[in-house]
Amino acid sequence: MAEEVKVFRTWSSPFAFRVVWALQFKGVPYENIYEDLSEKSSLLLHYNPIHKKVPVLVHNGKPLAESLVILEYIEETWKQTPLFPEDPYERATARFWARFGDDQVLPSVFGVFIKQGKEREEAIVTAHGNLKYLEEELRGKKFFSGEKIGFLDLAFGWVANLVSVFEEIQGLTLIDHEKYPLLLAWIQNFMDDPIIKESWPPRDKLITKYQALLGSFIPKEAAEK
């Protein structure tokens, strides 16, 4: 059957990377369709009218949105190289941590990057409160999913490429050797994986992008004070 798989994305969206990594692990050929989020294509708006966001997976003309939903779909459609645990309890646990990552960890880490002064101090405390769970989850494991990269590792992929960018721009260390030896080891193992390497956001481009983003935030915060 002639499969047609397209991924609507941007070059940097951490949510889109999850989708392309999953497709790569399963050896599913796909086409990248890059969007400019300041000028969304009519096709993107047609495929994701509810949220108007990337990523969107279009499989044989049928669109799907929300990266964690897409990952489950990819797993159920292409059964080679399973990325999810087989056991329902382990699957529920993986889903729990993925949601925790998106609902709590990512916003708190982004808060550390964006905020200033006392608000940043508070954000750092919150971020550590969340990150410690990741460190605990890695106990006795090479990857969040066990011996091999799986769903939860893909969900946390942004930790491996974004956090150090935030740290460099702001001149701070969030994931330090003392508190997070396992997480740092995971980052290295994740980055070293040959399939993950096939799709990786260029670091210098990320630095430029987030520096610019910071620049656009600060005047707004100053204006709101």
Partner 1 sequence: MGDEVVLLDFWPSVFGMRVRIALAEKGIEYEYKDDNLRNKSDLLLKMNPVHKKVPVLIHNGKPVCESLIIVQYIDEVWKDKSPLLPSDPHQRAHARFWADFVDQKVYAVGRKLWETKREEQEAANKDFLETFKTLETELGEKPYFGGETFGFVDISLITFYSRFYLYERFGKLSMEAEFPKIVAWAKRCLQKESVANTLPDQKKIYEFHMKWFGLE
Q: Which is nearer to partner 1, 85 or 157 (CB)?
A: 85
Single out the residue of 19, 21, 3 nearest to residue 62, CA to CA.
Answer: 3
Q: Which of 91, 120, 128, 179 binds partner 1 (CB under 8 A)?
A: 91
Segment interacting with partner 1, rule: CB under 8 A, options 12-20, 37-45, 56-64, 120-128? 56-64
Compute the least distance from the CB of residue 197 to partner 1, in Å: 28
Owner of token pair 């910071």: 214
Per-residue tokens: 155: 């969900």
Single out the residue of 123, 155, 124 nearest to residue 14, CA to CA.
Answer: 155
Confirm or reject binding of residue 92 to partner 1 (CB under 8 A): yes
Distances in Å between the Cα of 176 and the Cα atoms of 37, 62, 67, 132, 180 are 33, 43, 29, 11, 6
Distances in Å between the Cα of 200 and the Cα atoms of 16, 161, 190, 203 are 11, 8, 11, 9
Q: Which is nearer to partner 1, 132 or 205 (CB)?
A: 132
Query: Residue 57's beta-bridge partner residues?
Result: 7, 64
Segment interacting with partner 1, rule: CB under 8 A, options 25-33, 83-91, 108-116, 151-159? 83-91
Per-residue tokens: 71: 């990952």
Residues 12-51 binding partner 1 (CB under 8 A) are: 50
Bridge-based pairing state of the strands 56-59 and 62-65: antiparallel
Per-residue tokens: 220: 């707004």
Compute the least distance from the CB of residue 6 to partner 1, in Å: 15
Residues 119-178 binding partner 1 (CB under 8 A) are: 133
Q: Which of 36, 39, 76, 224 binds partner 1 (CB under 8 A)?
A: 76
Q: Which of 99, 197, 203, 205 binds partner 1 (CB under 8 A)?
A: 99
What is the distance between the terminal CA atoms of the chain, rounded to a whole angstrom? 59
User: Using CB atoms within 10 A of its CB, is residue 154 exposed (0-12), middle (13-18) or buried (19+)?
Assistant: buried
Q: Which of 4, 27, 37, 69 binds partner 1 (CB under 8 A)?
A: 69
Compute the least distance from the CB of residue 132 to partner 1, in Å: 11
Compute the least distance from the CB of residue 152 to partner 1, in Å: 13
Amino acid in the structure at residue 49: P
Interface positions with partner 1 (CB under 8 A): 50, 59, 62, 64-66, 68-70, 72-73, 76-77, 88-89, 91-93, 95-96, 99-100, 133
